[in-house]
Structure 1
Amino acid sequence: MDSPFAVLKFLILKTPFILRTVLYHALSLSPTSSKWDLRTTLIVNIVRDMLTNSPPSTISKQQKDTLRDPGIKGKMWVSKVTMPAPSEDAVRDLLFETIDALKQENEEYSRPALVPVEAEWTGYRAGVADNAPELSISEAEKYENLMKEVTSDVTLLYFHGGAYYLMDPCTQRSATSKYSNLTGGRVLSVRYRLAPQNPFPAALLDALVSYLSLLYPPAGALHKPVPASHIVITGDSAGGNLSLVLLQALLQIHRAAPAGNVPTVVFHGKVVELPLPAGVALSPPSLDLTRCMPSTENNAQYNYLPPPSISPTKSPPCTIWPTDPPRADLFCEGSALCHPLVSPLAAKSWEGSPPIFVVCGEEMLTDECKAFVQKAAKQRVRAVWEQYEAMPHCFSLLLEGNAGGAMSFDSWSDFVKRAVQSPEEIVTRGEFITAKNLVRRPVEVYKLMDMSDEDILVRMRNARQKMIECAATAC
């Protein structure tokens, strides 16, 4: 929406729809009446209607609309930084070697250059009003003030969601400042390159540079070296995907190193080690870009995201889409859709991973999240799983003030702090949280999905083939 007037116009046009939604909820005629309060019902149904019934728009417009900077005000410190690209190609070459080592078939991918990576250090700013203006001081002074309010060792490396082609750190500031407040730490929110202009693995290369820059600050950086044991990688939706593919890349780099040795790489002229982070916290991650799992369709009543049949690849043509030459997916070549660093659901091994936390609703991504957590737990990864009954995608961010969302934030922050301060206390566990009354019920993490890894991979490959064929015939 371009302005408050546009929002008002939209709501006026949708008045009959809104009234019908309220009536159905009040009379318990809606399938979600017993699970949702009225506020949740209105928000989810309005967002769903906007995403599925709005006139088609180009990828350029969709992207532009989600990159508008709302400004900085209120209870947040934001210090904008740029992490320079290393002059040597060692990091880039290492990533390509890792991609090739994880190939399962004949996957094709582009070979992006190393570029400077922009990011925002975000922290909580206490003692000011919600509309307090940003101070007119330098970025370095903002960072100094931010650090004065940090009360823990937690450093979050955060990747935003948006299907890899939408959103920006500027749109997630309210979330990242909340993350900082909940953990007492600081957040580095990364402006990774977006598709379709920058397909896989550009975002992953930016993520790897960001991680290395935390560990080994380049000249002129505002921060001091951050121990890997203080870093928790976190993200939502596509940002959760990026978090996990970064982790899988690091795990593969460790697997390829000589036994007993920490792998190294040349970064800004120095040979440095590549340790694993303290943990990964996800809410909820997008793990399967083929969208082949049953929950994609089965959980439609609780979902607002468009079904796979309404694909952004079918958007009206513009300067950035379709690409030249054309490809089957906005983010990657069709052949790469099942690569473990594109769809981490296809990864064979998570052994050796640090602890992982996944929170999910009852939504499109539920099955892929369950399958991932189950596999990780079976491979002796300490995995914490929380599922909230009848909740939509990214409910804790969408439904601000929702009691379930607040509970999930508390669980998320508890995991993050434990991962840094007392990792030995983290144990594998799973819980299902009931709607409305929020009763926690234990679930068996090792039995979340009744589907084998082999069956899942077959489903993914079949779905990939259909996507490639559909792109070729413009179906």
Structure 2
Amino acid sequence: MNSPLAILKFLVLKTPFILKTALFHAFSLSPTASKWDLRTALVVNIVREMLGNSPPSTISEQQADTLRDPGVKGKMWVSKVTMPAPSEETVLDLLLNTIDALKQGDESYSRPAILAVEAEWTGYRADVADNAPELSISEAEKYENMMKEVTTDVTLLYFHGGALYLMDPCTQRSAVSKYSKITGGRVFSVRYRLAPQNPFPAALLDAFISYLSLLYPPEGAIHDPVPASQIVFTGDSAGANISLVLLQTLLQIHRSAPTGTIPTVIFHGKEVEIPLPAGLALSSPSLDLTRSMPSTETNAIYDYLPPPSIALAKSNPCAIWPANPPRAYLYCEGSMLCNPLVSPLSAESWAGAPPIFVVSGEEMLADEGKAFVQKAAAQGVTVVWEQYEAMPHCFALLLEGNPAGAMSFDTWAEFVKRAVQNPEEIVTGAEFITAKTLVRQPVDVSNLIEMSDEVILGRMNKSRQEIIERAATN
């Protein structure tokens, strides 16, 4: 429902609902009135209604709605590029060996094709009007102009959100150009392959090739080699998932290498090292695709995401879903749902990871972030956690101009710049930011959630089995 006409029709039909929401907020009759302003109440409730009570549609329709290119205009540089697929399959073989090393039990997946990866170099374009047209120059010239406005060494390797089957770099340009502005850097926004047409591990393979292509530009690339010490993985929601599973892939490759050595791979005919990035900066990460954690229910009051039980129940059959041959889940085989390269919440170790920043609302996915941060910190990783009271999923993007969102952008950008420029200054810590007043309250990073690894894995395995059984009866 991304077309303006469809949204307008929906809003007209929901006028009574919108009026009721406004009145309940104005007279403090809603449970969120003391924590939200009117705009937040309207936006969250309308989006929740759109996602939960719209007429059923197909996965094809949902996907197509989120892939419409709005064009390039205003305060952004966008240079569209394609990273060629390496002629050898050594990168793919290394990835598949890594997946197999982390498999537990009877987990299965299909070998993906190794393909070229499209991406958009994005930067902030100052001193133009908000509706300024894109210049009619080559992609290389756009890149050159973008680089003239870059003021720091920061390079963000960005993966968009969208539940791994929706969205595209073209729909995230406004947010990505803001990331460039507030960090002074440039963003490499990846068009990774989407499910269900391209199930796991296609998107992870695209992410891996993108990272290697930044480090070691293939012939004809318009960028120079980017040192790993200047690259920060970043993403929102499902994009944060890809960021973390790419990191876990790199960590497992390092664990498998001889002690004291940096692992290598043949990439475009050359043996190259596989270093770790400078850091990760994640927003509202989706770390458990089984959605088994308690906050999925307890925090629903502050969020707009549909509950797991109806996420696929409302999709009509189409050419791309259900899959042929059938599988239990859009992104992967049901058996893979608890694999750490699908649901990184299940990963045993994050030891050796670079600094990681995680920001979350008081949202349905909050427990996943808490459990990950707590575990990573206990294993010696430098981790910064921020949770904003009563804020929904990806609140800084959804509620543009909201003071909480503005604050989270500031601390996110500060972390990114430190990860590249002064990583030794980053200190592990956690804070809870109160609603409206935005008071920062320190919390114990070792006690974010009272749940053992064994209990978490048990919940995930139970939810995975329920997903498989539900799919078998549909």
* Alignment TM-score, normalising by the size of structure 2: 0.99
Q: Write out aligned runs for 1:101-112 (5 A).
A: 101-112=101-112
SS at match of 2:419: helix
Please state how far the C-alpha of 1:10 moved relative to its aligned partner.
Answer: 2.3
> Paired residue for 1:180?
180
Structure 1 regions of 5+ residues with no counterpart?
A: none
Please state how far the C-alpha of 1:110 moved relative to its aligned partner.
Answer: 1.1
Alignment-mate amino acid for residue 395 of structure 1? F
Alignment-mate amino acid for residue 249 of structure 1? T
Alignment-mate amino acid for residue 140 of structure 1? A
Please state how far the C-alpha of 1:45 moved relative to its aligned partner.
Answer: 0.4
Whether 2:139 is the aligned partner of 1:139: answer: yes
> Paired residue for 2:209?
209
Structure 1 residues 280 and 472, CA gap change in structure 2 (3 angstroms): same
Distance in 2 between residues matched to 1:2 and 1:313, nearest whole Å: 20
Structure 2 regions of 5+ residues with no counterpart?
A: none
Please state how far the C-alpha of 1:232 moved relative to its aligned partner.
Answer: 0.1
> Paired residue for 1:364?
364
Please state how far the C-alpha of 1:14 moved relative to its aligned partner.
Answer: 1.4
Distance in 1 between residues matched to 2:165 and 2:5, nearest whole Å: 27
> Paired residue for 2:154?
154
SS at match of 1:218: coil
Q: Write out aligned runs for 1:255-334 (5 A).
A: 255-312=255-312, 315-334=315-334
Tell me if the contact between 1:433 and 1:441 (Cα under 8 Å) persists in the aligned partners. Answer: yes
Alignment-mate amino acid for residue 309 of structure 1? S
Distance in 2 between residues matched to 1:381 and 1:76, nearest whole Å: 34
Distance in 2 between residues matched to 1:60 and 1:3, nearest whole Å: 15
Distance in 2 between residues matched to 1:139 and 1:37, nearest whole Å: 43
Whether 2:446 is the aligned partner of 1:446: answer: yes
Tell me if the contact between 2:215 and 2:225 (Cα under 8 Å) persists in the aligned partners. Answer: yes
Alignment-mate amino acid for residue 69 of structure 1? D
Identity of aligned residues (%): 78
> Paired residue for 2:4?
4
Distance in 2 between residues matched to 1:471 and 1:13, nearest whole Å: 33
Distance in 2 between residues matched to 1:270 and 1:284, nearest whole Å: 37
| Runs ≥4 residues deviating over 6 A | none
Whether 2:47 is the aligned partner of 1:47: answer: yes
Alignment-mate amino acid for residue 114 of structure 2? L
Please state how far the C-alpha of 1:106 moved relative to its aligned partner.
Answer: 1.5
Alignment-mate amino acid for residue 131 of structure 1? N
Distance in 1 between residues matched to 2:9 and 2:278, nearest whole Å: 48
Tell me if the contact between 1:313 and 1:329 (Cα under 8 Å) persists in the aligned partners. Answer: no
Please state how far the C-alpha of 1:441 moved relative to its aligned partner.
Answer: 0.3
Distance in 2 between residues matched to 1:443 and 1:187, nearest whole Å: 32
SS at match of 1:441: strand
Structure 1 residues 7 and 316, CA gap change in structure 2 (3 angstroms): closer
Distance in 2 between residues matched to 1:405 and 1:8, nearest whole Å: 26
Q: Write out aligned runs for 1:450-461 (5 A).
A: 450-461=450-461
Structure 1 residues 355 and 186, CA gap change in structure 2 (3 angstroms): same
Distance in 2 between residues matched to 1:57 and 1:448, nearest whole Å: 38
Structure 1 residues 2 and 172, CA gap change in structure 2 (3 angstroms): closer
Summarize deviations over 1:63-121 as a string: whole Å, max 9, x none: 00000001100000000000000000000000000000011222101110110000000
Please state how far the C-alpha of 1:8 moved relative to its aligned partner.
Answer: 2.8
Distance in 2 between residues matched to 1:251 and 1:219, nearest whole Å: 28
Distance in 1 between residues matched to 2:111 and 2:4, nearest whole Å: 42
Please state how far the C-alpha of 1:180 moved relative to its aligned partner.
Answer: 0.2
The number of residues matched between the two structures is 474
Tell me if the contact between 1:313 and 1:328 (Cα under 8 Å) persists in the aligned partners. Answer: no
Q: Write out aligned runs for 1:13-92 (5 A).
A: 13-92=13-92
Distance in 2 between residues matched to 1:5 and 1:237, nearest whole Å: 27
Please state how far the C-alpha of 1:412 moved relative to its aligned partner.
Answer: 0.4
Alignment-mate amino acid for residue 115 of structure 1? L
Please state how far the C-alpha of 1:277 moved relative to its aligned partner.
Answer: 0.1
Please state how far the C-alpha of 1:15 moved relative to its aligned partner.
Answer: 1.2
Alignment-mate amino acid for residue 408 of structure 1? S
Distance in 1 between residues matched to 2:440 and 2:327, nearest whole Å: 44
Tell me if the contact between 2:164 and 2:194 (Cα under 8 Å) persists in the aligned partners. Answer: yes
> Paired residue for 2:349?
349
> Paired residue for 1:434?
434
- Alpha-carbon RMSD across the aligned residues, in angstroms, is 0.8
Q: Structure 1 stretch 5-14 or stretch 406-415: which is displaced more? A: 5-14
Distance in 2 between residues matched to 1:468 and 1:314, nearest whole Å: 17
Whether 2:230 is the aligned partner of 1:230: answer: yes
SS at match of 2:122: strand
Distance in 1 between residues matched to 2:276 and 2:176, nearest whole Å: 22
Tell me if the contact between 2:2 and 2:66 (Cα under 8 Å) persists in the aligned partners. Answer: no
Tell me if the contact between 1:313 and 1:330 (Cα under 8 Å) persists in the aligned partners. Answer: no
SS at match of 1:285: coil
